[in-house]
A and B are shown apart, each in its own frame.
Chain A
Amino acid sequence: MIYSYYPGCTLKDRAKEMDKYARASAAALGIELREIPEWQCCGAVYPQASDEIASRLSAVRALMNTEEGKLVTMCSACHHVIKRTNYDWNRDADFRMKATNYMKPEVPYDGSTQVLHFLEVIRDEIGFEELKKKVVNPLTGRKIGAFYGCMVLRPGKELAFDDPENPQIIEDFIRALGAEPVKYPYRNECCGAYVALENKNCAETQVDRALNSAIANGCEELITACPLCMYNLVENATRHKLPVRYFTELLAEALGVKEG
């Protein structure tokens, strides 16, 4: 099975390992992630105002360049921006008209691309039962918490990723890899996001609360799909600390493709 793939800027640099482990894992699962040509940065944050047109164009271009019909994302932010832009495209005629007039593409985008986070590919296209069968190195005995953060979940109506208030996709993923998922209350709260740039204390407060909650519930390590959550959970952890990994690293480890 071939999927179009949008890695995003951070996966080409600070989160290179997230991309590397994703590609190795995909191959082990019989999937090819085919990087789309000439993609541009998604903008990292979704512009929420209805008159923001230009800031959504790079996402539209990615949707247009998806030859395989399904576009796979890995980073929470890229997923959030591209998925919501696609949602707008199919519901907001004014945005569609202005963006099309500006881009003047040879073939206008028809709105048919399906945006899938890699975790959705695993859950909905492969299935956790199948994933379980492919595990060669079960992570037995490890107590792992999911840090969902915000962007893959909210707004739930648009992201349609999982129950935004009580998600379980990453817990099911952890269980399929042979480890024990640990649920804790702050797993779907904010890490402090970009505000860490001008207010480090804000990120420290959010991270401290999340890590305290994770540790109190028995987590020994965390996984995330978001490079900004990763940054804050590691760099802005003060009183409490836990090892944090990208979900793809855990996957590669369980599938036996982490090395080489």
Chain B
Amino acid sequence: MENHVQMLTETALRISGVNPQKCMKCGKCSGTCPSYDAMEYHPHQFVAMVEKGQIEKLMESDSIYMCLSCMACVERCPRGVEPGKLVEAVRLMKIRQQDQNRKNGNDIAAFADENVPQQLLMAAMRKYRK
């Protein structure tokens, strides 16, 4: 089990390129996050929890789908930690598993109406499923 946790942690760090040890815990990422109120775990917690190996908790939380990929935390982190990349990595680790799509193609297509831009549908295809 310990090996499994270690493997998950290493994967998150490798594919995100984030080094959580650079974090000085100032909280600016969460302070600037437009989705803060909608998240169970906030951007600064992603950094701390990945460092502690608590990836599975993050993978099971809806917080990974609340990130807007707006890059505010990536841009504004004074230490260049870039928490948004960790959120993306954990989300990918979740949906890359068999039968773990957040939504399937039909769910996403059903959202289309005469105003919804292709850009939104395509973004959802990439963010919610593999």
Contact = CB atoms under 8 A, between A and B. Distances in A.
Interface of A: 8-10, 13-15, 41, 43-52, 55, 75, 77, 150-151, 153-156, 164-165, 189-190, 192-199, 202, 205-206, 226-228, 230-231, 234-235
Interface string B106-126: 001001000111111011101
A195 B115 contact: no
Nearest to B115: A235
A227 B63 CA distance: 25
A14 B34 contact: no
B89 interface: yes
Nearest to B76: A165
Interface stretch (B2-10, B11-19, B46-54): B11-19
A150 B72 contact: yes
Nearest to B69: A45
B20 interface: no
Interface of B: 14-17, 34-35, 37-38, 65-66, 68-72, 74-75, 84-85, 88-89, 92, 103, 108, 111, 115-120, 122-124, 126-127
Contacts of B65: 195, 198
A227 B121 CA distance: 12
A44 B108 contact: no
Given A14-B116, A48-B84, A206-B34, A193 B72 contact: no
A117 B103 CA distance: 32
Contacts of A8: 119
A67 B88 CA distance: 34
B66 A49 contact: no
B74 A154 contact: yes
A197 to B, nearest CB: 5
Contact of B117 (A14, A41, A155, A199): A14
B109 to A, nearest CB: 11
A87 to B, nearest CB: 14
